[in-house]
Chain A
């Protein structure tokens, strides 16, 4: 997998390229398709247009219409046919245009994608990836800014991951495609083209495992755990807190199912405090699960209850109100203060 690749994005040369999250995913799809001709990309507008976010830009031109399928406009069709292609031996990568449109395909995901392997006692593998741009902050209309990842993490048989930076965007896409289980990849859409998140992506490096959390900043006063777009919020909050002398540890969860909470437990045993941050509504969500597991494993280490900074238990509001809805640096710092004051 770590062989040098021919692919280049933006005319970059060599194995190391300076990329945004969007370009990193594009490069990952490209290199995966070069490495294995069973990898195909399908979705609405992914061909000529390159996807509404241009993540699949140029792929159809280079790989043809049988590797990059501009599909009819129906999500159940995209996912349901991908199941059949996977059973046939392909490794389909479905693009769902926006997370709010995944629900027509929810039946196929829950009833077939997640259960075929179990139903057949392992005879049928479903090695497919469902890419889902998710999260808010883009000033969009309804159904374009939600965070439904907990609904999928709750389904046995699915694996769910989320990237927060270009290096992970590249490697998690590659690893998700290589995984023999179905993987949903939740991509932080508002960071796709974020120039200040550009990073050096070395396509010859040895990546971290796909289903592992990672400490992305060390600290000792409290632990912040987040995934996807909220990781950057937490890192910014930690930078601001440091200026006031408070050292915060930040953990990028990366894998939402299976959860890898060992690094979180370790961290909380040192800091005694945990704040879980996510754009999703809080009730019955991943942050609920994290809080439950941490109290189970770190009961004697906790100096304060686990606190959360999340979206509210409401539908996503009109975008004029999303700054109130979304966890931001101030809400995170305010919650850190509450924890420290316990």
Chain B
């Protein structure tokens, strides 16, 4: 942890001026620097060029990751990216109501997701399709949310993957409570301990629920890993609209460790998350991970990033691509050949085609679905409403309406 004396305060005038119609060149440069450089404390095991960086602290956490394991991580990322792109296209074609792209965040999600054990529980926000994949949730199980035919009904206990949460920050408290439960049940304290991980973005760190989650987890030593994907943008608001200091440093104020990892480095994300989960398993309380990454696409398909960010920034981040660095590392070290890459690309194509076929043939839910599962125990008032509406619909039987 750095000391407060080492914190850098923004120079007056640096950073976007709220009232300026056009940023000054100095502001542009400052903004680029702020968003593309993770700083000296960035934990990285694979450089953007695919070079392996040694780390005394974190190498032990990935000592089992051989070429085959790296190829599997590569495959995870390629398939998830391909499904993401296909879903984006399907929204453009009117088959999905909306899509929330994860482009650029594959390493953060696959690395952290693959660090989890079956007995752990993950609480996502709404962009964690990659984590869902690592938890065995098929894209077909979650696409209904974006097809607008359901709210997401996968078996969360079986997968260890809680339903998506759309209200920003809510899930951080829910995850903290769940982790408190793990602790109260005595599931924490050794290598076999359980842990919870919760995903949220840089924007969410401004929410009261995130602050309260930090407070609660610290007070109760809850075994929860706070995994913040800092993708630099909360829709159109840059990170400096949320915080004066690097987000991972906030942990210090709550009394638990905070660490910044290269969110585009799948190996570092895997190692750091394993370490953080271990801390939780052993009963050492919460950890904040800031995965420093970039949202390469829009916030959702309703968004237009060209209105608020510079293409230079995007070009900078393209050089840090999470998939390309693993590919380069494997190719250079002989861990994979062209045949392997072609095979994965072909698998991705058929994976996307299957998803596409599934979406195009998804039936709409019946109107009766509106009334189902509002309560665990039946409600007579609602039952009467249901009967009345279905009888009304029956009146149209045989006619077009």
Contact = CB atoms under 8 A, between A and B. Distances in A.
Interface of A: 40, 66, 69, 71-72, 74, 76-77, 79-90, 92, 104, 107-108, 111-112, 116-125, 127, 156-157, 159, 179-181, 258-260
A87 B375 CA distance: 15
B175 A84 contact: yes
Nearest to B172: A80
Contact of B215 (A69, A74, A180): A74
A121 B184 contact: no
Interface string B173-203: 1111111111011000000000000000000
B170 A80 contact: yes
Contacts of A260: 380
A84 B178 contact: yes
Contact of B151 (A81, A82, A118, A179): A118
Interface in B291-330: none
A92 B34 CA distance: 44
B379 interface: yes
B333 interface: no
Nearest to A88: B181
A84 B376 contact: no
21 contacts: A69-B220, A74-B212, A74-B215, A80-B170, A81-B177, A81-B216, A84-B176, A107-B167, A108-B209, A112-B170, A112-B174, A116-B163, A117-B373, A118-B374, A119-B153, A119-B163, A123-B157, A180-B377, A181-B377, A258-B381, A259-B381
Nearest to B198: A84
A199 B301 CA distance: 62
A80 B377 contact: no
A108 B165 CA distance: 11
Nearest to A116: B163
A76 B181 contact: no
A176 to B, nearest CB: 12
In this complex, the interface size class of chain B, counting residues with CB under 8 Å from chain A, is 35 or more
Contacts of A259: 381
B212 A76 contact: yes
B376 A122 contact: yes
Contacts of B219: 71-72
A332 to B, nearest CB: 27
Interface string B159-172: 00011010100101
B351 interface: no
A81 B180 contact: yes
A-B pairs, top 8 by smallest CB distance, nearest first, are A84-B177, A80-B173, A88-B181, A81-B177, A84-B178, A77-B212, A180-B376, A121-B153
Contacts of A118: 151, 373-374
B174 A83 contact: yes
Interface of B, secondary structure class, is helix
B150 interface: yes
A77 B216 CA distance: 7
Contacts of B174: 80-81, 83-84, 87, 112
A89 B209 CA distance: 22
B156 interface: yes
Interface in B220-240: 220
A77 B380 CA distance: 32
A122 B375 CA distance: 8
A91 B352 CA distance: 42
B382 interface: yes
Contacts of B382: 156, 258
A86 B118 CA distance: 20
Contacts of A92: 177
Contacts of B156: 120, 123-124
A111 B176 contact: no
B180 A108 contact: no
Contacts of A90: 181, 184
Contact of B182 (A82, A88, A123): A88
B372 interface: yes
Contact of A77 (B163, B175, B215): B215
B31 interface: no
B208 interface: yes
A173 to B, nearest CB: 17
Nearest to B176: A81
A181 B170 contact: no
Interface string B266-284: 0000000000000000000
Q: Which of A119, A156, A181, A260 has the most CB of B within 10 A?
A: A119
A105 to B, nearest CB: 10
Contacts of B212: 72, 74, 76-77, 80
A120 B152 contact: yes
B216 A72 contact: yes
B249 to A, nearest CB: 22
Contacts of B162: 87
Contacts of A76: 173, 208-209, 212
Q: Which of A82, A92, A123 has the most CB of B within 10 A?
A: A123
Given A76-B173, A258-B381, 9 more contacts: A80-B172, A82-B177, A83-B173, A84-B176, A85-B178, A108-B173, A122-B372, A123-B153, A123-B157
Contacts of A111: 167, 170
Contacts of A121: 150-151, 153, 372-373
B178 A87 contact: yes
A72 B381 CA distance: 38
A81 B99 CA distance: 29
B111 interface: no
Contacts of B176: 80-81, 84
A258 B209 contact: no
Given A118-B151, A181-B375, A259-B381, A83 B167 contact: no
Contacts of B215: 72, 74, 77
B337 interface: no
A92 to B, nearest CB: 8
B213 interface: yes
A40 B152 CA distance: 29
Contacts of B372: 121-122
B67 interface: no
A124 B121 CA distance: 14
B155 interface: yes
Contacts of B151: 118-121
B337 to A, nearest CB: 44
Contact of A122 (B167, B175, B216, B373): B373
A183 to B, nearest CB: 10
